[in-house]
């Protein structure tokens, strides 16, 4: 397994895995698969996002295939630059339980610690996703709130736990 910071050269692989994520786990993302596939120039947009200052997407490759990813997005305003968000975490079902999620998330935390003035990381996770919540808790995240009915997929509502990790 190779863990690395994604670059614009990885945009196609990212987009392919992102579409898989939206199909496999629709309750875990604010964007729907249907919305995603309607975007104009999605790979170009991904390539731009992968080189945006303050955004860091870490990927896990298994034999040159992207199988896991997470994005660290630093807040840009002066009053919030001390925090960042963990976003778009996903691991392909065929490699779940093999430490892929933990590896990419640990690298995201490591990246955050290298950012000047970074003090805390926030994330949101579907309350019923016990595997993800266990991973986040293992790495030191704590729940600080619950948003009821945060997402609605078809006629089903999903609550989200908001979690934080203080870096110092």
pLDDT tens digits, residue range 79-96?
999 999 999 999 999 999
The predicted-structure confidence for 11-47, as pLDDT tens digits, reads as follows: 999 999 999 999 999 999 999 999 999 999 999 999 9
Q: Note the pTM of the prediction, 2 decimals.
A: 0.93
Identify which of 31, 35, 26, 34 has the alpha carbon closest to the alpha carbon of residue 153: 26
What whole-number distance in Å separates Cα of residue 59 and Cα of residue 161?
24
Confidence of residue 6 (pLDDT cuts 50, 70, 90): very high
Flag whether pLDDT at 168 surpasses 90. Answer: no
């Amino acid at each position: 397994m190779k863990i690395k910071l994604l670059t614009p050269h990885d945009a196609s692989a990212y987009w392919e895995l992102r579409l898989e994520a939206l199909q496999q786990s629709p309750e875990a993302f604010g964007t729907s698969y249907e919305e995603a596939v309607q975007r104009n120039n999605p790979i170009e947009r991904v390539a731009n996002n992968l080189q945006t200052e303050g955004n860091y997407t870490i990927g896990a490759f298994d034999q040159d295939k992207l199988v896991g990813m997470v994005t660290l997005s630093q807040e840009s305003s002066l009053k919030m630059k001390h925090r960042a968000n963990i976003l778009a975490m996903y691991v392909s079902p065929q490699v779940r339980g093999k430490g892929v999620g933990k590896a990419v998330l640990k690298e995201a935390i490591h990246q955050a610690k290298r950012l000047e003035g970074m003090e805390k990381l926030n994330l949101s996770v579907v309350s019923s996703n016990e595997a993800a919540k266990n991973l986040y808790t293992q790495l030191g995240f704590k729940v600080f709130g619950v948003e009821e009915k945060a997402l609605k997929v078809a006629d089903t509502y999903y609550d989200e736990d908001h979690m934080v990790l203080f870096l110092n």
